[in-house]
Amino acid sequence: MKYFYSLFILLSSIQFVKGQVVCSGVSPASIAGNYAFSWGTPANTWGSPDFNIPGTYVQDTLMLVDDGSIGNSIISGVPLANYGCGTLINNLSGKIAVVYRYDGGTASTICYMSEKALIAQNAGAIAVLIVNRPSAGADIGTGGLTVAPSVTIPVVLLNFNDGEILRAEMQNGPVTMFLGNKTGLFANDLALRTEAALIPKKGFFPTLLAQNETEFNFDLGARIYNPGNLPQGNISLRATVTNPAGNLVYDNSVSAMYIDINDSIDVAPGENFTLADFSLSTYPVGTYTLTYTASMMDLNMTNIVDEYASDNSISYSFTISDSIYSAAKVDTANGLPNAKIFYRPSTNNQTYSICSVISDPNASRLAVEGLYFAAVKGTAVPGDSLLTGEEISVYLYKWEDVFVDLNDPSFGFGTLTEVAQAYYYYPSELGYETVFAPFNEPIVLTDNDRYLACVQTVNTNVYFGHDNTNYTWNTDYYLQPICPNENDGAYYTNGFGLDIPNALGIKVMEPVTSANELTNVKILAYPNPAMNSVTIALKASGKIALTVTDISGKIVLNSTELLLNEKAEIDISTLESGVYLLKIRTNDGQTSQINVVKN
C-alpha cells in the first residue's frame, strides 16, 4: 500500500507492528501456527516488555509449573499443581512457564494472574503462558493489585482449548513457542492475518438457500504483510476451496505483486489485484475448507523459502447444512455450531442476549424450528454453579428497522417485532454442551426481510458459547450486522467483537404448507413430566406420524400412531431422563409439536 500523508504513515506503521505480534507454535509441526492471545502490556500496569516494539520476543520450550498441590480441578480436570499459586518445586530456568488460571477449584488455586507470573519468574522462567479458565477467551486485561509491575518477563494468555492442545503435545516431547513481535527479524517473511481476509458469509448455510451459484457465493481476498527486512517483488496469493469429499473445487491465484519492507498489499474486489469470487453450480451437504496461501519467488521464478512460515497460510471452514444457519463454524465432534469460548457482559443488571441475523431473498423456503446454544455458569456466585433448572428464553424477531447497511443513519434496533418465543429449562447440568430450544411451532420466514434470533438469560452468572471465526474484513466489506448482543435492553451491533461471533444456531426446515400456509393443530400431552408413557390428545383422527428429538435435535423415536378417540399413548420408557420435543403430522398435513419431560 502507498500512504501519502505523514500521519497516515505513522498510524499505518503502528497498526502494522501490532499486527505482527504473535503467539505462535514453532515445533513440532502438529502445533505450528498462530494462536489467539493477549499479553500483559505496560499500559495495563505490567512491568513486562512491550511487544509493540519490533524485535521484542521470546522463543523457547514450554514447561508446566508444579507447586506440589495434590488432586485435580473438579471443573476442568487440570492437576491443581499446574495452577502455580504456591512455591514451585520444579526448575523453570530458561523455559516458558505454562500455568492455569483459577477456574473454581480449591482455595490453593486462587491467586491473581500477575501473582502466578511473578512466582514463575522467581523460579527462572523467561516468559509465562497462562491458560484461561474453560468459560473465558484470551483477554488478559490489567495485572491486578500491585504485583504486575514486578513482573518483568513477557506474559501471554491463551484460551483453554488452545492450552489443552499444547498440553497434550507436551506429553509427547518438547514444544517450542514464539511469543512477541517478529517485525524485521527475518529477511524473507510474509504473513497473513485472520482479521484481514474475506471469508464465507456464514459458518453454516442451509442447503435450501444454496441451490446454485446465484444463491450462494462470496468474494475472496486477503491482505499480505511483509514484516521481513527485505522488499519482495514477486509475491503470489493462492486461494483454494475443497468440498466435503476433499476434492479441489476452486483454485485461483494472483501474482507479480511487490511489497516494500513493513508494508502490505490488499488483494480484494476493487483493488489492483483481485481473485475470482467463489461459486459452484451445486453444493453437496457437508463441510468445505477455504485456504489462503502467500508465497514469494526470485527473479528466476524459484520459490524463496519463508524463514517464518507459520503465518503464510490461513484456513476457514463453512458447512452447507440440511438444517442449520449460524455464523459459527462446525464443531466436528457433534456437527453443531462450535461453542468453545464463553462470554457474558462485564456489567449488566438484568438481561443478556446473544443474537444472530438471518435474511435472504429466498427466506420463504425456510421455517425456523428453534435455536441451538451452549451455556455455562461462572464460579463467582456461591451456590449458583449448576445449570440444572436454569430458565433460558429464546426469541425470533422480525427486524423491521429500514436500513441499507451499517453506515445508514437509519440503522438501529428500534423496531423488533416478536414472531416466536419459548422457554428452555435445563434438565440437568449440561454446561458447555450445545442444546436445542424449540419454538412451539415452526415459523415461516418471508423473502428479503431481516430477522433477529436471540437467546436470553436474566441470570448475570450465565455465560453463552462463542466461536473464534474472524468476521472483521467481512463486516467492513459487506457492511451488514452478523451477531449483535443485548445487555440490559441495549443492543451492540458487533457483540463482544467481530472476531468472537456467538455460537447460536438457527434450526430450519422446509415449510409444510397447505394452501400456501403452514397449518397447525393444538396438541396436549399428559402426564407431563412422565415416567414410562405419555398420552397425546388432538383434534384429529386416523394415523399420525410421530417424531421425538432430544435437546441436541437428534431423532430418538420415529413411529406411526393410530388415534383412538383423538388420543394416542406413546411409550417413552426407553428414553433417558430429559426434555424431548414431540412432533406430529396428521393425515391431512396439519402439524404440531410440544415439549415433554421424561423423569
400 versus 526: which is more confidently predicted?
Answer: 400
Give the domain CATH number at 445. Answer: 2.60.120
Instruction: Write the CB contacts of 507 (distance below 8 Å, at least 6 apart in sequence).
Output: 323, 324, 368, 369, 370, 371, 372, 436, 438, 553
pLDDT above 80 for 286: yes
43 within domain boundaries: yes
3 within domain boundaries: no
State the cell numbers at 577: 431422563
Q: Region 168-179: what's the mean pLDDT?
A: 95
423 within domain boundaries: yes
Buried b (16+ CB within 10 A) or exposed e, 437-452: bbbebbbbbeeeebbb
Lowest mean pLDDT among 35-44, 218-227, 313-322, 515-524: 515-524
Same domain, 206 and 156: no
Same domain, 176 and 223: no
Same domain, 140 and 198: no
541 within domain boundaries: yes
**pLDDT of amino acid 598:** 87
- DSSP sequence for 528-554: SSBSSEEEEEES--EEEEEEEE-TTS-
pTM of the model: 0.78
Q: Region 76-87: what's the mean pLDDT?
A: 90
Tell which residue, 159, 169, 86, 174, has the closest CA to residue 129. Answer: 159
pLDDT above 70 for 6: no
311 within domain boundaries: yes
**pLDDT of amino acid 144:** 56
Number of domains in the chain: 4
Q: Region 410-433: what's the mean pLDDT?
A: 94
Give the domain CATH number at 42. Answer: 3.50.30.30
Domain boundary among 449, 476, 509: 509
The span from the CA of 346 to the CA of 77, in Å, is 26
**pLDDT of amino acid 1:** 26
Same domain, 427 and 475: yes
pLDDT above 90 coverage of the chain, percent: 61
pLDDT above 70 coverage of the chain, percent: 91
Same domain, 297 and 419: no
The span from the CA of 153 to the CA of 128, in Å, is 7
124 within domain boundaries: yes
10 versus 390: which is more confidently predicted?
Answer: 390
Same domain, 545 and 483: no
329 within domain boundaries: no
Q: Region 293-318: what's the mean pLDDT?
A: 88
pLDDT above 60 for 513: no
Give residue 72's pLDDT band: very low, low, confident or very high (50, 70, 90): confident
Give the domain CATH number at 222. Answer: 2.60.40.10
Same domain, 376 and 456: yes
| The total number of residues written for the chain in this structure | 599
Give residue 8's pLDDT band: very low, low, confident or very high (50, 70, 90): very low
pLDDT in tens, 459-495: 988 999 999 899 999 999 999 999 999 999 999 999 9
Same domain, 28 and 111: yes
**pLDDT of amino acid 145:** 57
C-alpha dist (Å) from residue 301 to 166, 203, 298, 350: 37, 37, 5, 62
The span from the CA of 543 to the CA of 550, in Å, is 23
6 within domain boundaries: no
Same domain, 340 and 479: yes
Range of the domain at 210: 191-321
Domain boundary among 181, 209, 229: 181
Same domain, 163 and 295: no
pLDDT in tens, 351-386: 999 999 999 999 999 999 999 999 998 766 666 778
Q: Region 211-235: what's the mean pLDDT?
A: 94
Give the domain CATH number at 534. Answer: 2.60.40.1220
Same domain, 460 and 581: no
Same domain, 166 and 291: no
